[in-house]
Amino acid sequence: MKFVLMLSGLLAVASCSSSSGSKADTAPVISNFTMTSPVSAGTTTLNGSLDITDTEGLADVTLNITLSGGGATSTLSQPFTGGSASETAATSTIELILGAAPPAGTYDVTVTATEGGETSNSLSATVTVQ
């Protein structure tokens, strides 16, 4: 499945596949978050992936993505539409399509997941534009 995120001129598309597991009352957990780096100047697409689990199911999970660098920070929250109440784990590939090529520099991408009042761990990856 795919979902679309709009983030201050940034478009993120993530596809995901999932597998089932058991249920319990816990916050979502994200792991194995990576972004491809370095990338060449003029690049308008950043690629990455992450694993997400929630023993209560992925139906009500929201992904929160923050992109910072070059003196600007943008954050967006988007429901994780790739999961259902019976799916408790998913691997998601992320493709961030930028509205314009960023200048050379270092950019941080941070991701968390929320469900109700529960917030996951926070993971970050650095992307270097050369």
Task: Determine the structural domain holding residue 64 and report its residue range.
Answer: 2-129
Distance of CA 79 to the CA centre of its chain: 11
Decide: pTM greater than 0.95: no
Domain with 19 in it: what CATH number? Answer: 2.60.40.10
What are the φ and ψ backbone dihedral angles of 23, each rounded to 5 degrees? -110, 150
- 6: number of Cβ within 10 Å: 12
Q: What is the pLDDT of residues 70-126, one digit of tens each?
A: 788 888 787 776 667 788 888 887 777 777 888 888 999 999 999 888 999 999 999
Query: Domain count of the chain?
Result: 1
Supply the pLDDT for residue 126: 94
Q: Please give the share of the chain, as a percent, with pLDDT higher than 70.
A: 78
H or E segment and range at residue 85 = none
- Report the pLDDT averaged over residues 63-76: 82
Q: Is the peptide bond before 102 cis (omega within 30 degrees of 0)?
A: no
What are the φ and ψ backbone dihedral angles of 124, each rounded to 5 degrees? -130, 150
Query: DSSP letters of 14-81?
Result: EEEEEEE----S---EEEEEEE---B-TT--EEEEEEEEE-TT-STT-EEEEEEEETTEEEEEEEE-T
Task: Look at residues 46, 50, 73 and name the one whose alpha carbon lies nearest to residue 61.
Answer: 50
